[in-house]
Amino acid sequence: MRPLIAALTVIWLAAVSTAAAQEACDVPGNLLFSESALNHVTAAVKNNRQLNVVVFGTGSSALAGPDGVASAYPARLQVALTQRLPGVAVSVVSLAKMGQTAADMTKDIDKIIVDLKPNLVVWQTGTVDAMRGVEPDQFRAVLDSGVDKLHDKGSDVILMNMQYSPRTELVIALSVYADNMREIARENEVPLFDRLAIMHYWNDTGAFDLYAGSKNSKTAQRVHDCIGRAVAAMVIDAAHLNDAATRTPK
Amino acid sequence: MAPEVPAITTERDLRLDLFRGLALWLIFLDHIPSNIVSWITIRNYGFSDATEIFIFISGYTAAFVYGRAMQERGLVVASARILKRVWQIYVAHIFLLMIYLAEISYVAQGFENPLYAEEMKILEFFQQPDVTIIQAMLLKFKPVNMDVLPLYIILLLLFPPILWLLQRKATLALAGSVVVYALVWEFNWNLRAYPSGTWFFNPFAWQLLFVFGAWCALGGADRLGRVIRSPVTMVIAIVYLIFAFAVTMTWHFPRTAIYMPNWLAEIIYPISKTNLDVLRFAHFLALAALVIRFLPRDWAGLKSAWLKPAILCGEHSLEIFCLGVFLAFAGHFAMVEISSKVVMQVIISVLGIAAMIATAWLLTWYKNAEGRGPGGRRKIAQADLAGGEA
């Protein structure tokens, strides 16, 4: 009997400790880190001690409600980056809007670049294009020229794909658009924040129950907080800004 | 009648049923969203997937069954039988659509998670049944995973003249098919879809596989026999399969993507499923060459009890395919309403395949009981079923 109890205790402890790890919504490195570098970000942080980030996005980059703006991932990204880059003036401006296709987001791209002077654009897209069934070749072309333009004008890009949304998996066919985003990211040597795979991972490990249909906005806020922190980790890694090295000497 | 009608072998090739049955299982596993078991399916280890196998074998059996009808009864009767089959598939598609709409509506009920405000907008689309249902009946609106039957409908609809030509000038028919395929890549031909875009499986491209299957059935396979069995072909096929495997690994492990040279990536990407990319077609050919080489037609194992379940499923492809689509919806429903744990995904996958086998067994039993099975009296009257379904 004793060994059994001991074994059960060990299993229980293991379960509790993994549950704690899951609560922290960690992302395995292989989902987050790539070889693509963010050189403009590195330069802006090291030389000018400032970092301007602009988020292009659809409705899934925003949250509704009075505290929606503060709890959506762009704001959480700003908080996380500010914490990890002390002495650097970090600003994150979100241009996310419900129902935007990739083409809609790049309509005013020249003006945005001039007005906001981003060092980094987090370009979240794909959901609306998939819902509307935009021609995949056209989607691809828009992404390709958008990334090129941003690079030319001195901004790095992180592409972010769709949310993992298990309830609507049989309604919105994402795979073609997700594949195209992965290929565009690879071709242009741009990091891809694979939100689809990361959220899928969180659901599988039990960090979040993304099948839940409830109105409760707590989960949504926690998911966005985790995404914000994960994007920050990706930026730090890809721009080679390991936390200690960037600290201003006192 | 033309003097040079190629002889159609009468002996049934069990390998066709076996691989069609396996393809049906794989399609089912791939159709359940977020299913961990789908990691075993071939799409993760190479360019092509079960759809290629299914369409090729469907072309093969269509030529086998309706080719004989065309020889014995003429063009008109054979065409009428093909059209009757088209109608059956159309009705099956509409039936599945009803089940799909029911599933979606139920799952969408009370789904108010603020995280998915954007995604939920798609459901508004279903609130206009006047448009949606009519577009679905016109085969323009095809929900996720419901693209294969419309493709099959178009392919069969165009089949009578193709079959007629295949029986007279087989090489010309195949050449015509290749030309159409090539022109698709040049001119972007495809059918329009609703609400926008085009068909996920472009029938003008996928016809190549179907016609190639039919061509093989009508003597092409014998003509290719020596080429397929030559050691050179074997080496090329194996090297290509290993190459495809290595490329797919770079998709699963982003860190390995740096081993993919840019010049190569520029040549091979994007690998279009819609237009049946050449790489996919070649991958299917390589797989088929290996199967033909290492799994002879008279292999004793084909009669073993272990392979019987897959063969049974392959013999009733339309019914089992439809059942698989339905079971994938049911599986998604169970994951939303009960549990989405890994254990549940495995249970759904296993139960689903068991249900497919049981149903196929029941259909065979019924066919035999009706005296339509092998050796039955009404064999000739049911020629469109005697050789398995097309």
CA-CA distance, B293 to B245, in Å (whole number)?
20
A163 falls within a domain: yes
Is 60 exceeded by the pLDDT of residue B214? yes
DSSP secondary structure letters along B52-106: HHHHHHHHHHHHHHHHHHHHHH-HHHHHHHHHHHHHHHHHHHHHHHHHHHHHHHH
Q: Whole-angstrom distance between the N-terminal and C-terminal Cα of chain B?
A: 24
Burial of B220 (0-12, 13-18, 19+ CB in 10 A): buried
B258 and A30 Cβ atoms separated by less than 8 Å? no
- At residue B283 the predicted structure's pLDDT band, cuts being 50, 70 and 90, is very high
Which residue in B has a C-alpha nearest to residue A136's C-alpha? B197
DSSP structure string for B186-243 = HH----B-SSSSB-SS-HHHHHHHHHHHHHIIIIIHHHHHHHHHSHHHHHHHHHHHHH
Chain B: closest CA distance from residue A175 (Å): 11
CATH of the domain at A197: 3.40.50.1110
Instruction: Collect all residues of chain A within an 8 Å Cβ-Cβ radius of residue B110.
Output: 213
Contacts of B255 in chain A (CB under 8 A): 30, 33-35
Q: Is residue A5 part of a domain?
A: no
Task: Give me the residue from B112, B119, B195 closest to A165, CB to CB.
Answer: B119
Nearest CB partner across the interface for A219, out of B100, B115, B257: B115
DSSP B129: H
Alpha carbons B345 and B127: distance in angstroms, whole number: 31
Q: Given a cut of 70, is residue B2 above it in pLDDT?
A: no
A18 within some domain = no
pLDDT in tens, B9-26: 556 789 999 999 999 999
Judge whether A29 lies within some domain.
no
Rounded CA separation B366/B361 (Å): 9
Q: Are the C-beta atoms of B351 and A182 separated by less than 8 Å?
A: no
ipTM of the complex: 0.83
- Which DSSP symbol is given to B124? G
Mean per-residue pLDDT, B63-85: 95
**What is the residue range of A157's domain?**
37-246
A169, B345 Cβ separation under 8 angstroms: no
- CA atoms of B55 and B23, how far apart (whole Å): 10
Residue A94 maps to a domain: yes
Q: Do B257 and A220 touch (CB under 8 A)?
A: no
Flag whether A194 is in a domain.
yes
Distance to chain B for A11, nearest Cα, Å: 18
Q: Which residue type occupies A68?
A: G
Burial class of residue B380 (count of CB atoms within 10 Å of its CB; 0-12, 13-18, 19+): exposed
- Picking from B234, B217, B268, the residue whose alpha carbon sits closest to that of residue B61 is B217
B111 → closest Cβ in A31, A203, A213 = A213
**Lowest mean pLDDT, pick from B49-58, B125-134, B289-298:** B125-134
Work out how many domains chain A is built from and give that number. Answer: 1
pLDDT in tens, A125-148: 999 999 988 888 899 999 999 999
Cα end-to-end span (Å), chain A:
60
Domain ranges of chain B: 19-43+295-390, 54-222, 230-293
Q: CB–CB of B269 and A217 under 8 A?
A: no
pLDDT digits (tens, 9 = 90+) for B22-63: 999 999 999 999 899 999 999 999 999 999 999 999 999 999
Nearest by CB to B195, from A132, A176, A182: name it. A132
Averaged over B98-114, what is the pLDDT? Answer: 84
3-state SS, residue B34: coil
In a domain, A203, yes or no: yes
pLDDT at B373 over 60: no
- Is A221 within the bounds of a domain? yes
Interchain pair B144, A170: CB under 8 A: yes
B347 pLDDT tier (thresholds 50, 70, 90): very high
Please tell me the distance from the alpha carbon of residue B40 to that of residue B44, in angstroms, as a whole number: 7
Q: Which residue of B has its CA nearest to A64?
A: B114
Extract the residue ranges of chain A whose pLDDT is less than 50. 16-22, 247-250
